[in-house]
Amino acid sequence: MKKFLKWTGITLGSLVGLLLIAGIVIYFGTEARLTKKYEIGVKPFTLYSDSNTVAAGRQLGNGVAVCTHCHGDDLGGKVVIDAPVGFVAAPNITSGEGSVVRDFKDSDWVRVLHHGVAPDGRPLVIMPAEDYQNLSIEEINSLVSWVKSMPPVNRPSQPSSFTMLGRVLFAFGVLPKLPAEVIDHNVPIPPTAVPGVNPTYGHHLALTAGCVGCHGPTFSGGQIPGTPPDWPAAANISQDTKTGIGSWSEADFIRALREGMRPDGRTLDTLMPWKNTRLMKDDDLRALYLFLKTIPAKPFGGR
């Protein structure tokens, strides 16, 4: 009996030791990724601003890039995730006290929007730079001009943090990689997208609005990577007529993005930012609809 207890103690002690070592390896491995410094060279960029530029940025930031969905209607920051995996808050990006952008140079905005990297080189956690890589320099300028025109909000920006569970899931690829880890930093800023009621401009809007991030590369929806099991799945917006939007008319589509209402009367989940997309221009919604009409049908859940 004593021998059994002895070997049981040795076994349990060994397991605890291995878990401790694994925890240390995971902690420092994920910390290295979270604190890595990226050297991002940015071509000279000088902001210009006038009333038309600010108005264009307001339209882009509210209706397409949906900045307010994370940073709040006043852009003063708000909590995005508070879960067992960790705490993530979008920071204050006004000119007020507690803002993270008060000392930004013009080139820093490009680093953040196009590369997902802070001015000091560290990677940002949930900044959708993969989507914003599709912004032209003119769109970046208008977006930043609008942000800078917003009234100052005096609210401290809250730092993001991972729990040990979050670090384990991050280390094993269950949580998504950081934007800076997946972005090709050598891709140049694209030329200006020419607005028009056509699939090409609709594709630009779909990329910029982050449709791929939630609905997946094939737009067939499903569980968003890294979200809790009870998190609402993204809808299928491919041309599948059973689970997608293949049978939707243009009017059905515009109503969904304007009123948050499906053709059958069901309300869209608020995680779908229809309160932002309702601010899109009529022609932009038509262009987006035309682009989605080109997406092959795929059953729900394949992303």
Sheet of 161-162: strand order equals 78-83, 86-90, 161-162
Domain housing 228: 199-292
Closest CA to 193 of 146, 134, 105: 134
DSSP bridge partners of 90: 78
In a domain, 31, yes or no: no
> Do 207 and 122 share a structural domain?
no
- Residue 152's pLDDT is what? 97
Report CA Rg, the chain: 22
Asked if residue 224 belongs to a domain, the reply is yes
Statement to judge: residues 233 and 281 lie in one domain: yes
Same domain (yes/no): 236, 274:
yes
- Total domain count, the chain: 2
Residues 209 and 285 in one domain: yes
> 18 in a domain, yes or no?
no
Q: Are residues 166 and 213 in the same domain?
A: no
Provide the mean pLDDT of the chain. 89
Q: What is the pLDDT of residue 21?
A: 83
178 in a domain, yes or no? yes
Q: Let me know whether 164 and 268 are in one domain.
A: no
pLDDT value of residue 214: 87
What does pTM read for this prediction? 0.85
CATH of residue 68's domain is: 1.10.760
The answer on 164 and 207 residing in a single domain is no
Residues 157 and 98 in one domain: yes
The pLDDT assigned to 258 comes to 93
Tokens matching residue 269: 């989940």
pLDDT at 3: 61
Same domain for 247 and 280 = yes
With CA atoms as reference, report the closest residue to 120 among 103, 99, 139: 103
The answer to whether residue 61 sits within a structural domain is: yes
- Residue 177 and residue 211 share a domain: no
Q: Report residue 287: phi and psi, to 5°.
A: -65, -40
Question: Residue ranges of the chain with pLDDT lower than 70?
Answer: 1-17, 226
What pLDDT score does 12 carry?
65
Predicted local distance difference test score (pLDDT) of residue 301 = 84
Q: Residue 303: inside a domain, yes or no?
A: no
Q: What is the pLDDT of residue 96?
A: 95
What span, in angstroms and rounded, lies between the C-alpha atoms of 209 and 277? Answer: 9
161 shares its domain with 265: no
Indicate if 238 and 151 belong to the same structural domain. Answer: no
